[in-house]
Structure 1
Amino acid sequence: MDPRIREHAEVIANHSVDLQPGDNVVIDAHPVAEDLVVALHEVAGDVGANPVTTSQRTGKRQQRAYLRAADGDFDTPAHEQALIEETDVYIAIRASDNVTQTSDVDPETSAAYQQAQRPILEERLSKRWCLTQYPAPANAQLAEMSTEAYENFVWDAVNKDWDAQRAHQANMVEIMDPAEEIRIVSGDTTDVTMSIDGNPTRNDYGEHNLPGGEVFTAPQPDSVEGEVLFDLPLYHQGREITDVYLEFEGGEVVSHSAGKNEEVLTEVLDTDDGARRLGELGIGMNRDIDQFTYNMLFDEKMGDTVHMAVGRAYDDTVGEGNVANDSAVHVDMIVDMSDDSFIEVDGEVVQEDGTFVFE
């Protein structure tokens, strides 16, 4: 086994989830990530934790079969809910043998399934949890990289000095945390303002998302005004969506379009009322993630980017007395801020063409 896999497992256990003796651990992984699953079992054995492995969340082949056979009317599965309720630590490992496995599942069916899974998602988020990536060949192919190059890319981004990354990002937290308003401008296609007054800014340095590399907060749901062109693509429900355009009035998406698979975007926005409002604003700050790979876990952390998510706001980014946007979905989309762009906080430019004022 590549020694970097064991190092990856130790970063998850020691840095991300603080694995303790007696912890009940669910490891949710595609079979292609077996080496990392084995390494995590070794670490769990060393610590005295109790691991069990499922592929409920990330086993896309069986999920495709189920969703294509189902009638589209779903209930929250009580036995799956019970498993997560009895869990102390939840570790999800992204990896795939076919990244477009669910591309022929009806978007309405996928949206209905997500709604039914929402109580389980909320329960997972109440635990110590980590979402990470195993460098599987299919993910390397999607990133247009050789398997070896992708392995190097993933483990360079994961197995790093997270204390140093935290200190770098703390500069931006210090700017944003007391702020009232943020404006994002990129070219002549993106000019959007939002209030973050009273909502704390969080420093993501590899605790829940591994790799980390962003600072993020929640906009006030009704405050978002303007337009955004997300000029980097994303994969959702096994489909590529490109050139997403959203126009906001009073916090709500009032107009939208996409260059490709617009119907998938429409289904996301129609999931529920909260899906038409922003739940997150994030600033990418991980300079070791230096290329786009069609993997939001990495892409949203790239330096020179901003991402916004329609849908659910994370509870720890909503201040006391403020409204948290509520939705069954949370879909991130990215704006390239490397050229002809700036971030303005309370009227002061804090990043221009990808460079922060403190760099």
Structure 2
Amino acid sequence: MRIARWKHGAEIGEGFVIGDGVVPFPDGLRVAEVLAEGLDAAHALFTRVDTATATPLADVRLLAPLVPAAIRDFVAFEEHVEGVSASVDGKSEVVPEWYQAPTFYFTNPHTVLGPGDTVSPPKTERLDFELELAVVIGSSPGSDGANLTAEAAARHIFGYTIMNDWSARDVQSREMKVRLGPAKGKDFGTTLGPWIVTADELAPFLDADGFLAVHAEVFVNGTLIGEDLVSNMGWPFPELVAYAARNSRVVPGDVLGSGTVGNGGCLGELWGRAGELTPPPLAEGDEVRMTVEGIGELIGFVGTAASTPELVPARSRSRQRTRD
């Protein structure tokens, strides 16, 4: 099944993508409610759709397929870490700690973009994309989503969507020197879409070790920049979900990105390997097109840099411990 949100005229619709059309959920349900009911309930709901209410895909504008409860973004591809560390940190390495456990950061659920949307970046000289596959969390009967085993975590994977983690590499590099972040280097935009493909649809791509062996590509203005198999990640998705739930919880509507695929899944990796900004950073008007086998295509555009107030540097303070 494919699940989407769309705008048709002044109305926002939520439902299934069937063939070349979109069909609203029965009973006026929303994506968030379907995720909260879980995958089995979604299959039952699919049997009740009224295809007579279908609207051609060509007549609607697709939105991000969900309003995320939270977004965690992992860094699960060793090859990406090797290349991008030189671009961001000035030294190409994979630290030993990377191998010990999956690592993620939280990004901004309030700046999510949909298919065909234009990102408004900060002032940056090194605007980049990141090609990722993301899991969307749903409910699992009898589970509260906390402290999951990998087996239990797999039952919380409702489906998958494509994720473009837009990145301002120069901003990211500055703030991570403070041993925190990324923050402003990332949180201005994350594109999701074009829809959620349910986990059962991609099950045939699982390899013998449980990794999802789908092919992913990214193009800038029609030129292929990178491609990889998602199965090259260091941990399969259920283990990422289990780690996110460790001493914590995952809930329906959470989005967990795989991190950037290797072999040119972002420009930063290629800059680090080449020692120069080749291919060039993204510029206003550029089109970034991502494709993932079994899901489809996600396109985003680069817009004008946002106008923001000037930054104020830290003030020098006396470190006095008591008031006069």
TM over 0.5: no
- Higher RCO, 1 or 2 (CA under 8 Å, sep at least 6)? 2
* TM superposition score normalised by structure 2: 0.28
**Structure having the larger proportion of residues in helix:** 1
